[in-house]
Amino acid sequence: MTSVTWCTAPTTPPSRPPSSVWASPPEGCSSYLFPRTMGFAKANEMLLTERQISAQEACDNGLVTRIFPVDTFKAEVDKVVQHMASLPPQSMMISKALIRHEHINKLLEVNKRECETLRSRWLSDECMTAIMNFLSRKKK
């Protein structure tokens, strides 16, 4: 769980989770965070159908907090990071801990369950076949 997530646009290519194409389940706590962030219907659509989303849609759905133009990304991020670094560090750490407190144990539990599921799926014939099919497909 990050503090903030930024991306670039409009040149950022659409994003999608790779799990379905590889016959692999959601990872990175996405089975918990995506429904909480964007609602069950949109999370299901993205996680189960490999639907690609743009930077703007990711921002609209709470997956990223801000979009910066490519040519000013570094300068904009540097400004925000410098401002954050100027704030009282103990207060920042306490605030971050309070914000995350209610979710940290759940995230650890979800991550453990996702990792266990990933390990078992990666050893399955279906997953091996899906990965081989993905790697052997020709670029369009």
Q: How confident is the model at residue 14 (pLDDT cuts 50, 70, 90)?
A: low
- pLDDT of res. 17: 66
Give the separation between CA 88 and CA 119, rounded to whole angstroms. Answer: 42
Sequence-distant (6+) residues with CB within 8 A of 140 are: none
Measure CA of the first residue to CA of the last residue in the chain; give whole Å: 35
Q: What is the pLDDT of residues 45-100, one digit of tens each?
A: 888 887 888 888 889 988 889 999 989 999 999 999 999 999 999 999 999 999 88
User: What confidence score (pLDDT) does residue 20 get?
Assistant: 64
Helix, coil or strand: residue 118: helix
Question: What is the C-alpha to C-alpha distance for residues 82 and 75, in angstroms, rounded to an integer?
Answer: 10
Structure confidence by residue, pLDDT tens digits, 16-52: 665 666 677 888 899 999 999 999 999 998 888 878 8
Provide the whole-model pTM: 0.74
SS3 125: helix
Contact predicate 41/89, CB 8 Å: no
How many residues does the structure list for the chain? 140
